[in-house]
Amino acid sequence: MARLGREASVPPEIKDDLEAISSEGQRAANVVKNILSFARSHTLSAQPMEINTVISQVLSLRAYKHRVNTIEVVTHFAPNLPEIVADRFQIQQVFLNIVLNAEQAMIDSKGRGSLTVTTELSGDIIRIAFADNGPGIPADIINRIFDPFFTTKEVGKGTGLGLSICYGIVTKQGGRIFAQSQPGQGATFIIELPRTAPD
């Protein structure tokens, strides 16, 4: 209806209102789409996987974007990490979401950047850290970034569900995810997953 009104010959003041209705309608549709994704009961397909390989695949997917935006990617992968048993698609989704957020933060703040990805084994925990040199996360919101619908992006550019979905996936796996940041000095997202396969 709003789109038909925009295409018809209407007074400018009404046309502006119709544009706003159309824009907010699209935003609402995107929010609903993400809510369904968030709430959907995913049938897990758990399988052994090597974390370094999964991260490398995600970084390969973003390699072109990194080149054209002058984002340097540095990896420090611990060798011979034990496998974990998890849903590969969900773990990829977590890593991809964090990489996308880091890219956007660095591009928006300085038009380029550096992303360092580190893996290590600490006892029975595999720790993965994604550290960017973007603007960082203000101290007054860092404890809210995993809350559903919380976003610092402009209206229409984010639903605030990406990190909530990541939180749900990681905790369902028996792990934890958190962020560390100093404003102006970048942000580091850390994921800790239990090793679920013997040496």
User: Tens of pLDDT along 183-194?
Assistant: 788 999 999 999
For 176, list phi and psi in degrees, rounded to 5: -145, 155
CATH topology classification for 46-194: Heat Shock Protein 90 (3.30.565)
Assess contact for 162 and 113: CB atoms under 8 A.
Answer: no
> Is residue 184 classed exposed, middle or buried when 0-12, 13-18 and 19+ CB atoms within 10 A define those classes?
exposed
CB neighbour list of residue 133: distance below 8 Å, 6 or more residues apart: 106, 113, 114, 185, 186
Neighbours of 61 (CB within 10 A): 13
If you average pLDDT over residues 53-70, what whole number do you get? 94
Q: How confident is the model at residue 95 (pLDDT cuts 50, 70, 90)?
A: very high
Q: How confident is the model at residue 146 (pLDDT cuts 50, 70, 90)?
A: confident
Distance CA 69, CA 124 (A): 37
What pLDDT, in 10s, does the model give residues 22-52? 665 665 556 555 545 544 545 667 899 999 9
What pLDDT, in 10s, does the model give residues 102-124? 999 999 988 999 999 999 999 99
Kind plus residue range of the DSSP H or E element containing 173: none
In whole numbers, what is the pLDDT of the chain averaged over residues?
81
What is the model's pLDDT at position 152?
Answer: 54
Report which DSSP code applies to 190: E
In this structure, the strands spanning 71-76 and 113-122 are parallel
Report which DSSP code applies to 170: H
First to last CA, the chain: 61
